Amino acid sequence: MGLKSLAPSKHPGETYLYWLRRRPALYVTDPELIGEIGRCVSLDMGKPKYLQKGQEPLFGGGVLKANGACWARQRRVIAPEFYMARVRSMVQIMVDAAQPLVATWEARVDGAATAGRRACFGSDYSRGREIFLRLRELSGLMSETSVIFSIPSLRHLPTVKNRRIWRLTGEIRSLIMELVRERRDAAAAAREHGGKTPPERDFLGSIIENSGEQPRPDDFVVDNCKNIYFAGHETSAVTATWCLMLLAAHPEWQDRARAEVLENLALVEVKTLVAVVLARFAFTLSPEYIHSPAFRLIIEPEFGLRLRIRRAATTQPRTPAAPNA
């Protein structure tokens, strides 16, 4: 790799090599070294095979787990969906999706799921709910066992859990491909009648449109719909949960954040959700809250987030809008 700084640190605990059975792993905490690794653009730097295999039901061969030329090819198709102009157009979707959360204040942040379904499946987002519910259950099953410390061969045994994972994987694929076939049939019918009706402009429409360039078009569509669920919902929801926990633990931050976030809204889902919440509520941690970060596929509050909520003493809230820059 050419990274000279990968040599062990003279200060134990900062950087060290350890082994997971026959697999070496490097533990890094130094920010400069992490940045250097992150800036490495070699296609030889990729995701470990054992993680790809262990998490295949949830991620397949999508962009989050692909390596080398396969990753580069998928990234060229998917990256434009996250350019600022495209993300800016989804801010209102995020704001609308946060309204049920504001109305009900569910214990877990579910507003991000609706935004993800609408951005991913467009007018089919209600049917996307069935896909996302199954993906959430699959994510829970996959996170029960550590992919690092588990025995790889066990995932092939027909246990109750494995059979459930296999069944969910098949159901998710069938539901996504049903939508894909309908989109393709609609596009073909439009062409036959001489129309030039463009495909629906959402994530699903985009990857269907570009799937013909991929070696396995159907796998490309299915795997990356699953990937966008995890990247766009699970991480956003959990990040928003931790943001609310910190704001609840430090109520004095809320007035500053309320003024700052509402005036300078960044075009990201977490800040949109937090902005909508801060516009209406003030909150503190409940005495029943147990701080127990749990590492599953990502770090989550093991027992959820319990808050005490009250109306914020602010002026009439404004709907956050996308900035010009």
In 167-320, beta strands by DSSP E: 281-285, 293-295, 299-301, 307-311
Residue 180 contacts residue 203 (beta carbons within 8 Å): no
Residue 44 is classified by DSSP as T
Q: How many whole angstroms separate alpha carbon 320 and alpha carbon 93?
A: 11
128-131: long-range contacts at Cβ-Cβ below 8 A with a sequence spacing of 24 or more? 128/179, 130/175, 131/172, 131/175, 131/176, 131/225, 131/229
Name the region of 304 (left: φ>0; alpha: ψ -120 to 50; beta: rest): left
Q: How many whole angstroms separate alpha carbon 81 and alpha carbon 62?
A: 15
pLDDT at 218: 92
Burial of 147 (0-12, 13-18, 19+ CB in 10 A): middle
SS3 label, residue 123: helix
Q: How many whole angstroms separate alpha carbon 143 and alpha carbon 14?
A: 27
Domain with CATH 1.10.630.10 in the chain: 41-311
E strand or H helix that includes residue 15: strand 15-20
E strand or H helix that includes residue 23: strand 23-28
Residue 275: CB atoms within 10 Å? 25
Residue 181 contacts residue 221 (beta carbons within 8 Å): no
Residue 291: CB atoms within 10 Å? 11
pLDDT in tens, the chain (325 residues): 344 444 444 555 578 888 877 778 888 888 888 888 878 777 777 777 777 777 888 888 888 888 888 888 888 888 887 777 777 777 777 777 777 666 665 343 345 456 556 666 665 666 777 888 898 888 888 877 665 556 777 888 899 999 999 999 999 999 999 988 888 888 888 777 776 555 556 777 888 888 888 889 999 999 988 888 777 666 777 787 888 888 889 888 887 877 665 566 334 667 777 777 888 788 899 999 999 888 777 788 888 888 888 887 754 444 444 444 3
Rounded to 5, what percent of the chain is helix, strand, coil?
Answer: 60, 10, 30
Instruction: List pLDDT tens digits, range 6-40.
Output: 444 455 557 888 887 777 888 888 888 888 887 87
SS3 label, residue 255: helix
Burial of 116 (0-12, 13-18, 19+ CB in 10 A): buried
CATH architecture assignment, domain 41-311? Orthogonal Bundle (1.10)
